[in-house]
């Protein structure tokens, strides 16, 4: 079973606000992993998040820049 992360944990992981996480999810250029929803709570699969991070690292794109990711 894979680890799951709530929105606050995602924000802490990247040093941003939860609102920024919402913006990243809404921006299709970033291909940020979409959360699953349990009731209304967004939950991310850690393995999927780590895969996204590896893909960005391979493409030479930074993980984060201040409060914005660059496509």
Indicate the helix (H) or strand (E) that contains 5: strand 4-6
Cα 55 from Cα 58, distance rounded (Å): 5
Cα 11 from Cα 25, distance rounded (Å): 12
Domain that holds residue 54: 4-59
Into how many domains does the chain fold?
A: 1
Say if 70 falls within a structural domain.
no
Say if 47 falls within a structural domain.
yes
Cα 44 from Cα 33, distance rounded (Å): 7
Q: Is the pLDDT of residue 13 over 90?
A: yes
pLDDT of residue 57: 87
Cα 2 from Cα 23, distance rounded (Å): 25
* Better pLDDT: 2 or 30: 30
Say if 19 falls within a structural domain.
yes
pLDDT of residue 12: 97
Q: Is the pLDDT of residue 18 over 70?
A: yes
Q: pLDDT (tens digit, 9 = 90+) per residue, 20-65?
A: 999 999 999 999 999 999 999 999 999 999 999 999 888 876 555 4
Say if 17 falls within a structural domain.
yes
pLDDT of residue 64: 53
Say if 67 falls within a structural domain.
no
């Amino acid at each position: 079973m894979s680890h799951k992360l709530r929105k606050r944990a995602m924000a802490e992981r990247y040093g941003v606000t939860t609102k920024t996480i919402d913006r990243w999810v809404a921006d299709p250029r970033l291909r940020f992993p979409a959360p699953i929803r349990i009731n209304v709570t967004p939950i991310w699969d850690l393995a999927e998040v780590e895969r996204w991070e590896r893909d960005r690292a391979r493409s030479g794109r930074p993980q984060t820049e201040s409060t914005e990711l660059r496509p």
